[in-house]
Amino acid sequence: MKNYKRADTHIWAGRTSEDQLYLHEKVTFLDLENDELIENQNTAFAILGYACDEGVRRNSGRVGAALAPDAIRKMMASLSNHLDKSVQIVDIGNIICNKNDLEYTQSYTSNKIAQILKYKYFTIVLGGGHDLAYAHYNGIKEYLPNSSIGIINLDAHFDLRKIESNGNSGTPFYQISKENDRFKYLCLGIQEESNNQELFKTAHQLGVKYIKSTDFNIQNRNYIFTVLDNFIDQVDNVYLTIDMDGFSSAFAPGVSAPSPFGFSIDIALAVIEQICKSGKLVSSDIVELNPEYDLDNCTARLAARLAYYIMKFISSE
């Protein structure tokens, strides 16, 4: 079985107009295995799905995140379009995990992300489990082998678990740290209740910067921006990963590990905008949405709007 499935064009549906008033009218499609990528001269976004929750299963989580990429697309489709007409959005389909082979799926994903970035598309990957981060980082690294890459993670969890047998959704940043001399990692929204003492110890040993969820709020905006800007200044490029379980379950109930003590939308959006304005963001992903536990597509709608705002912030630079 193949690890790639081209985009389902029927997902992108909604009201129609004669002037691309809705996002679905702006989206074009590309078969990543058969169509030729052409280097872009203008701002262009590639939407790639990572339909894999094998890492979540290995991490004893609630599976269902493999359904998330298409759930997010459906919620993106009907959004009003305020992007410039020169901006391109291309849906290039889903990567799927066959026979529980997470390692091959991650390798395949890395290669495809590097391929997409090479042709000057800003890539937004829709997960899937957070094991995507290991693949995504390696794809960026393949594209930018001589640059320092700073990871900014909006998340309740460090995901720095040591590997016992195989990697999973809780190990990606530990894996990255062990394979790279330059490990720059900032995690925003960390919850003490969701990370044991060993994980905090590992974070300190690896020099990880973090802000706890109790401090990650709009009232602390100036402090958060100082930490954020100092981190960005230390790296050549930034990879942004957004774990939906970092948000309060009031906003994001449809995740594998919901928490009422998560962060709010206002501070997350402010941070995302600041990262986009830095000019160093090269690729991003949104992970851990679990449609099986969503309520009225609430979490999928939030993920869709985060993806839209990333495109808006990037294209306005």
Tell whether pTM > 0.85: yes
Consult the annotation and say whether 84 binds a ligand. no
User: CB neighbours (10 Å) of residue 15?
Assistant: 11
Consult the annotation and say whether 53 binds a ligand. no
Consult the annotation and say whether 245 binds a ligand. yes
Consult the annotation and say whether 136 binds a ligand. no
pLDDT one digit per residue (tens) for the chain, 317 residues: 589 999 999 999 999 998 999 999 999 999 998 998 888 778 999 999 999 999 999 999 999 999 999 999 999 999 999 999 999 999 999 999 999 999 999 999 999 999 999 999 999 999 999 999 999 999 999 999 999 999 999 999 999 999 988 999 999 999 999 999 999 999 999 999 999 999 999 999 999 999 999 999 999 999 999 999 999 999 999 999 999 999 999 999 999 899 999 999 999 999 999 999 999 999 999 999 999 999 999 999 999 999 999 999 999 86
Consult the annotation and say whether 157 binds a ligand. yes
Consult the annotation and say whether 243 binds a ligand. yes
Domains of the chain and CATH, by start:
4-315 (3.40.800.10)
